[in-house]
Amino acid sequence: MSFSDGEVERYARHLVLREVGGSGQQKLKTARVLLVGAGGLGAPAALYLAAAGIGTLGLADPDMVSLSNLQRQVLYQTADLGRLKVEVAAERLIAINPHVAVETHPVWLDADNARDLVSRYDLVLDGTDDFATRFAASDACLAEGKTLVSGALGRWTGQVGVFQGAPCYRCLVPEVPPDAETCALVGVVGALAGVIGSMMALEAIKLIAGAGDSLTGRLLIYDALAAETRTVRIGADPACPVCKA
């Protein structure tokens, strides 16, 4: 698969990168990536993945654009209120890069449909704030042999992890925490979503292009108030009923 003259110019800064180059950009061009959630994390991740030249982006989210989204979900505008997020997102992403195909799935990813959706893609990014969806995405990725890039945020703190087999997401979070918080309940600073969503896109690009060291088996935690970042190892849980580590 060759690049047109326009693509060569568009991806010029990637093509001169030693860690990406022509072969890495070809891998990006043929990659199929599913974003679960087109909200605070999915929006910035989708923007950078489209700009990077991911061949096919799948967007799974049944929500409509609401006014409270606009503080952090940078794909959307006031004029989009009441429209399906995946439809608006598809328009914006194709406008950024017409070489990207966008597949829309206006559904919640759950235990019933997760494997069918995940099986169609090479890599999955989960940026939802619902633990049932996170568990379904993780279980499906494990069953289908797909890599999962997981992101989360709340208040002033965000985190990103990459899961390839064991340890899986359930080794990190075996069940819904009793004090589970959502952005709707505790709030979140809008720019933090951009930081964490961009980190998720960066991990996806590295994984696809084969560049550098990924966060596989590790969790990166960013404390925006303290301006501190730390990375911790995720231990495989031998009692995990899913990955059976």
Per-residue pLDDT at 1: 66
Per-residue pLDDT at 185: 72
CA dist 155 and 171 (Å) reads: 24
Of the candidates 140, 136, 128, the one whose C-alpha atom is nearest the C-alpha of residue 197 is: 128
pLDDT tens per residue across span 171-189: 998 887 766 666 677 889 9
Domains in the chain: ranges and CATH:
13-233 (3.40.50.720)
21-40 burial code (b ≥16 CB/10 A, e <16): eeebbbbbbebbbbbbbbbb
pTM of the predicted model as reported, rounded to 2 decimal places = 0.95
- Decide if 212 contacts 19 (C-beta within 8 A): yes
pLDDT tens per residue across span 101-138: 999 999 999 999 999 999 999 999 999 988 999 999 99
pLDDT tens per residue across span 135-153: 999 999 999 999 999 999 9
Of the candidates 160, 170, 174, the one whose C-alpha atom is nearest the C-alpha of residue 218 is: 160
- Decide if 44 contacts 74 (C-beta within 8 A): yes
